[in-house]
């Protein structure tokens, strides 16, 4: 196994500065500014970069079966003062995306800097992607680049650093499927409600049936039992304050266990609709991204060893929310674990921050894994 030389240790000031600069780029609407920054940094390091029309970036060095590193460049919206300040305070970098997932981007840029003069015995693939946050599969950046990637294993650098000093290693995630069900009634003036069919009232029958659903569960090694979940997250009927609504729309959020087929999910929801509503409904799929799990004991053990080597405790986990590891697993054939320097529990929060100690320690742990699989 190769080893980074002392001069190639993480430059902590550079790593923090990179994260600050990334946070100051608003990528909640589009990733063009992030793509420009990352592309320029990689080119300064001497890497060739392939950029597609959506701003997704791929860069490779070395030869061999391939080891993937990925972080997404987009963020959710921010609406608080100082959301893009990147200010450092009390050992934290504050700002939208500081943990989700610009810490991962900063870590990858640092790793690229450290690898540029190393002798490699494997090919490293750097994938910086967009459209991860609540976007359909068809536009998801990981999905867009997956078929161009050849790698056997990889790490997705979503936030898994805990404030207690431990680092999670997520071996998989649930899928995310969203549907809209339009409950159909008959509109009329609210002065004569008996002349119509109130779609809101009819939707109550559907909700009652929906709450009885028992999604499947599965046992996952090292984790235990993992359930699928089904939730109604939005309801809307807007025809006027004095109108009996003829349509009531509900949004369904379904979190699928690995291996659960899309057709099975749709059939289950459609059956509930027919039971409660007969033919008086329309159902539309809004988005769908599969879940997945990757189990390779040797790889998992190397990740644990890497975490321990930097003085942290490894915690094997399974993400109940979704991330792009399952996409790379299914569409690129790259078995990925999730281990990244952002702070667990911070994504999408107001006043989001990244703990600097966790940023440094987790970046060092990822480097140890890369060292095992790629450095001579």
Output DSSP code: residue 152. Answer: S
Task: Count CB neighbours of 200 within 10 A.
Answer: 15
Last residue within a domain, chosen from 263, 289, 315:
289
Instruction: Give domain status of residue 1, yes or no.
Output: no
Burial track 244-283 (b if 16+ CB lie within 10 A, e otherwise): bbbbbbbebbbbbbbebeeeebbebbeebbeebbeebbee
Instruction: Give domain status of residue 218, yes or no.
Output: yes
Output DSSP code: residue 257. Answer: P
Same structural domain for residues 52 and 157? yes
Count of structural domains, the chain: 2
Same structural domain for residues 320 and 283? no
Range of the domain at 253: 175-289
Last residue within a domain, chosen from 259, 289, 319:
289
Q: In 132-179, which ranges are continuous DSSP H helix?
A: 141-146
Question: CATH no. for residue 184?
Answer: 3.30.70.360
Residues 348 and 353: their CA atoms lie apart, in Å, by 10
Residues 324 and 313: their CA atoms lie apart, in Å, by 24
Tell me the whole-structure pTM to 2 decimals: 0.94
**Nearest-CA neighbor of 310 among 255, 268, 372, 367?**
367
Q: Tell me the sheet residues that pair with 229.
A: 255
Same structural domain for residues 284 and 298? no
Q: Tell me the sheet residues that pair with 126.
A: 59, 69
The secondary structure of 84-134 as a DSSP string is: T---EETTEEESTTTTTTHHHHHHHHHHHHHHTTS-BSS-EEEEEE---TT
Same structural domain for residues 191 and 260? yes
**Nearest-CA neighbor of 203 among 282, 112, 92?**
282
Structure tokens at 324: 């792009």
Residues 333 and 349: their CA atoms lie apart, in Å, by 33
**Nearest-CA neighbor of 53 among 150, 124, 131, 136?**
131
Same structural domain for residues 301 and 209? no
Last residue within a domain, chosen from 261, 289, 317:
289
Same structural domain for residues 11 and 139? yes
Same structural domain for residues 192 and 130? no
pLDDT tens, N- to C-terminus, the chain (376 residues): 456 555 458 999 999 999 999 999 999 999 999 999 999 999 999 999 999 999 999 999 999 999 999 999 999 999 999 999 999 999 999 999 999 999 999 999 999 999 988 899 999 999 999 999 988 999 999 999 999 999 999 999 999 999 999 999 999 999 999 999 999 999 999 999 999 999 999 999 999 999 999 999 999 999 999 999 999 999 999 999 999 999 999 999 999 999 999 999 999 999 999 999 999 999 999 999 999 999 999 999 999 999 999 999 999 999 999 999 999 999 999 999 999 999 999 999 999 999 999 999 999 999 999 999 998 6
Query: What percent of the chain stands above pLDDT 70?
Result: 98
Structure tokens at 311: 């003085």
Output DSSP code: residue 65. Answer: S
Same structural domain for residues 192 and 148? no
> For the CA atoms of 188, 190, 192, 195, what is the dihedral angle to 10 degrees?
30
Same structural domain for residues 149 and 260? no
Question: CATH no. for residue 151?
Answer: 3.40.630.10
Torsion angles phi and psi, residue 76, rounded to 5: -75, 175
Same structural domain for residues 318 and 192? no
Q: Identify whether the C-beta of residue 148 lies closer than 8 Å to the C-beta of residue 258.
A: no
Same structural domain for residues 338 and 318? yes
Q: Tell me the sheet residues that pair with 154.
A: 68, 336
pLDDT tens string 230-269: 999 999 999 999 999 999 999 999 999 999 999 999 999 9
Residue 170 CA, distance from chain mean position: 12
Own/partner contacts of 262-271, CB < 8 Å, gap of 24 or more, are 262/177, 262/288, 262/290, 265/177, 266/179, 268/213, 268/215, 269/179, 269/181, 269/230
Same structural domain for residues 67 and 157? yes
Task: Count CB neighbours of 116 within 10 A.
Answer: 13
Instruction: Give domain status of residue 187, yes or no.
Output: yes
């Amino acid at each position: 196994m190769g080893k980074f030389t002392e001069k190639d240790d993480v430059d902590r000031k550079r790593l923090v500065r990179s994260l600050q600069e990334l946070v100051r780029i608003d990528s909640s609407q589009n990733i063009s500014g992030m793509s420009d920054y990352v592309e320029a940094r990689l080119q300064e390091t001497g890497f060739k970069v392939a950029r597609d029309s959506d701003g997704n970036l791929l860069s490779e060095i070395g030869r061999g079966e391939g080891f993937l590193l990925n972080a997404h460049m987009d963020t959710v919206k921010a609406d608080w003062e100082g959301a893009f300040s990147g200010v450092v305070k009390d050992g934290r970098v504050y700002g939208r995306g500081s943990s989700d997932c610009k810490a991962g981007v900063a870590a990858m840029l640092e790793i690229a800097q450290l690898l540029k003069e190393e002798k490699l015995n494997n090919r490293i693939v750097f994938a910086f992607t967009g459209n991860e946050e609540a976007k359909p599969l068809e536009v998801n950046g990981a999905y867009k680049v997956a078929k161009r990637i050849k790698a056997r294993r990889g790490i997705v650098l979503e936030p898994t650093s805990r404030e207690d000093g431990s680092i999670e290693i997520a071996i998989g995630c649930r899928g995310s499927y969203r549907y809209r069900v339009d409950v159909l009634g008959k509109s009329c003036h609210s002065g004569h409600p008996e002349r119509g069919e109130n779609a809101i009232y009819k939707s109550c029958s559907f909700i009652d049936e929906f709450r009885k659903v028992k999604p499947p569960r599965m046992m996952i090694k090292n984790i235990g039992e993992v359930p699928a979940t089904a939730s109604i997250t939005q309801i809307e009927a807007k025809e006027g304050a004095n109108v009996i609504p003829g349509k009531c729309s509900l949004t369904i959020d379904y979190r699928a266990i690995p291996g659960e087929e899309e057709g099975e999910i749709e059939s289950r929801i459609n059956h509930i609709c027919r039971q409660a509503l007969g033919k008086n409904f329309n159902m539309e799929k809004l988005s769908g991204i599969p879940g997945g799990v990757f189990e390779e004991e040797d790889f998992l053990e190397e990740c644990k060893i890497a975490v321990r080597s930097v003085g942290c405790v490894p915690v094997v986990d399974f993400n109940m929310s979704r991330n792009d590891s399952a996409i790379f697993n299914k569409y690129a054939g790259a078995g990925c674990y999730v281990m990244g320097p952002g702070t667990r529990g911070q994504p999408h929060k107001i006043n989001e921050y990244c703990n600097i100690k966790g940023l440094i320690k987790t970046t060092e742990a990822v480097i140890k894994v890369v060292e095992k699989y790629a450095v001579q």
